[in-house]
Amino acid sequence: MTTEARTFCRICQGMCGLVATIENGRVTKVRGDKENPLTRGFACSKGLASPEFHYGPKRLLRHQRRRPDGTHEAIGFGDAIDLIATRLRPIIDRHGPRAIAAYVGTQATCNAIYRPLAIDFLRALGSPSLFTSMTIDQSAKWVTIGRMGSWLAGRQPLKSADVWLLSGVNPMVSLSGWSGNLPPYDPVKQIKEARRAGLKLIVIDPVRTQTAANADLFLQPLPGYDAAIFAALLNIILSEGWHDAAFCAEHVAGLAELTQAVGAFDPALVEARAGLGFGQLHQAAAMFARDGRRGCAGGGTGPNMADHSNLAEHLIETLNVVCGRLLRAGEPVPRLPVLNPDRPVRAEVRPARREWESGHRGVTGYGTMFGQMMTATLADEILSDEPGGIRALFCIGANPANALPDQRHALTALRSLDLLVTSDVVWSETARLADVVFAVKQPFERPDHTQFLEALGLELPFAQYTPALVDPPSEADVVDDWRVYFALAQRLGLSLDLAGPLDMHETPSSDALLDRLAGGSTVPLSVVKACPSGAVFDRPVPTVKPARGGRRDRLTIAPPDVLVELRQCRSDLAVARTVRGGSASHLLVARRERETMNSFGRDLAGTRKRFPRNPAWIAPVDADTLGVSNGDRVRVMAEHDAVIAEVQIDSAIRPGVVSMSHGWGGLPDATDPLRDGVSTTRLVARDRAVQPINAMPRLSAIPVRLERAD
């Protein structure tokens, strides 16, 4: 028997609509759903390969426990829960609940129940030790909110913009728009349609990416100069008087101080240091601030992972603020919730909070943001002998053995834990180290809805629900991923809260929990369920309300620590990049591939056919200098470690730059780099070029030396 069912992908934030062909209880084929009004038939290779995720030979079908010799054996779910509970109690008794930590990764993001329930398990334990991928990815965005404050009405939307600036972000490949302040869904069509409607697109990137190929103005600097570039852009705009003086006078603090500080960034000097053409920065500033009237700037992993990342993101958002690219009272509200409740949207400032300066601190001395600890400190929090160090770690949709900076150091930490627990669908690097591995359901085997997508800046009142389409394979012993934490809470006598206290005496269904989450929705979930492809619901469009009476808070664009960082950034313009006492030959930048989502998807047959490993992409002139051709090997040597990689030559790469995808490779010294690729986190120094506040190391624009490896 063959049927078709509509659903949506849950690999990344795009949540593309899909149509699944089901034969004899198994999904055999997937295509994009043309009736889905959000993604309109688009689906990337990862989503189209979903049947392989479910039925491929590498899927993990049974829960596992680690034997004393390091191998694993199958264990029943109940026995695994008992084992963990038994090992948790002495840890808590001896070290306190803060010794129990959780790391939440990207594969829990698009899972409405799993992420919040697992995080609440940590709360119920009384532990503040929550880490997520956000504080090792683009945490500078949170630092900026903490230092500047935020405009509650939000930024101007893409649909009414005439200009947009993207720096170090490639949404036409990553398929995620939120980091560039774009809508989170189908950025390929979003950008192309906006350009056909007259939008001018500016892209700043050391690689001529697929997004850069669609730009009206493309600037290709050396990596690592993002903060200086945006300081120079602000210098031009403020000197020329192209900023929104009226908005700044009413809502901004520190304009005079910022103007003076960025005055040190002479555009010609910055262009020379960053390898830009003379006058390019003035051209970009004029296009964005003089000729453009609506539209925003946004930065992705490029500026958020390179030198002075906190400053770079602060200056990007300052560009939006001083140009007044924020919604005002009386304008239409662009983001209308469906599965969340309606709340008034006001044109007012939520002031800077700087929450890392108070509250919980880890043993490394760093505070928290939005209730989360700084992920770059996780390994040191584990290895510390100080009271309060972490002794047990739960991995939630995460693979920290591949993701944490300085991979060898991170593995030392993970191996030293008293208890390491993960849930996975394959034998990831973390699963191979874990004491207990839970085998969990794949997306088509569980229901879900798109409530989380609304939090990413959805510019349409869209929502979709999907039921479970198929049962797990008959030979599988797998569970809903959230059940791990519900069962542990039951076993430990804890009470959980998910949109209200849960009855801990009876295990609920996934659908019951989804109903709870949508309990305050603007559109009833039952109405959403009646639209299998999802729907854009006909809702009245409210307008932005004025600030509440007496509110006079301002956006703080020049706090003292930002001014200190500006002076340091200016000094660093003259600093040469070195490796092990010699000059760096290249700067290593992060690279996205559509076929993978961090470490997820690299073992798919289609991915392996096109990218069997993660090569080192370099410019033709650099290949000639090194005397290498496609397929040759090079040694990529950073300050404290080196990796071997295969060369691929690409004219889109700027000379002096090497571009490599992260999330590849296995455990160091246990895999063949020419078969499995290598983890670029081995090249990240956890104790050099580290940002204050969030402990963010330099993950991109890393000075390296390339040598031929014969």
Which of 282, 289, 331 is CA-nearest to residue 165?
Answer: 289
Q: What is the mean pLDDT of the chain?
A: 94
Helix locations, 457-539, DSSP H: 483-492, 510-517, 525-529
pLDDT band at 51 (very low <50, low <70, confident <90, very high): very high
Spell out the alpha helix ranges (H) of 19-64: 45-48, 50-55
Distance of CA 85 to the CA centre of its chain: 31
**Residues, the chain, total?**
710
Query: Looking up tokens 């639209």, which residue turns up?
Result: 531
Q: Residue 12 in 3-state DSSP?
A: coil
CA–CA separation, 215 vs 652, rounded Å?
Answer: 14
Q: Please answer whether residues 112 and 514 qualify as being in contact, where contact means their C-beta atoms are separated by less than 8 angstroms.
A: yes
Q: Which domains does the chain have, with CATH numbers?
A: 149-349+555-562 (3.40.228.10), 576-708 (2.40.40.20)
Q: Report residue 629 as tokens.
A: 């051709």
Q: Pick the closest to residue 136 from 684, 704, 703 (CA basis).
A: 684
List, for residues 303-350, the tens digit of each pLDDT value. 999 999 999 999 999 999 999 999 999 999 988 999 999 999 999 999
In whole angstroms, what is the distance from residue 23 CA to residue 653 CA? 45
- Looking at residue 367, its pLDDT comes to 97
CB 171 within 8 A of CB 583: no
Q: Give the list of residues 6+ apart from residue 701 with CB closer than 8 angstroms, or none.
A: 223, 224, 305, 306, 307, 587, 588, 589
Residue 183 token pair: 């809508």
As a whole-number percent, the residues of the chain with pLDDT over 70 amount to: 100
pTM of the model: 0.96
Helices 560-572/226-240 angle, 10° precision: 110
What does the alpha-carbon distance between residue 673 and residue 669 come to, in Å, rounded to a whole number?
9
Per the CB < 8 A criterion, the answer to whether 110 and 452 are in contact is yes
Query: Once rounded to an integer, what is the mean pLDDT over residues 486-511?
Result: 97
Question: Residue 556 — pLDDT band, cuts 50, 70, 90?
Answer: very high
474 φ, ψ (degrees, to nearest 5): -60, -30
Give the model confidence (pLDDT) of 221-279 as tens digits. 999 999 999 999 999 999 999 999 999 999 999 999 999 999 999 999 999 999 999 99
The whole-number average pLDDT for the span 646-653 is 96
The residues, ordered by sequence, that sit 6+ positions from 620 with a Cβ below 8 Å of its Cβ are: 649, 651
Which residues are registered as beta bridge partners of 708? 634
Q: What is the CA radius of gyration of the chain?
A: 25
pLDDT band at 457 (very low <50, low <70, confident <90, very high): confident
Looking up tokens 């198994």, which residue turns up? 26
| Inter-CA distances, 685 with 6, 637, 688, Å | 45, 12, 6
- The pLDDT tens digits of the residues spanning 351-376 come to 999 999 998 999 999 999 999 999 99
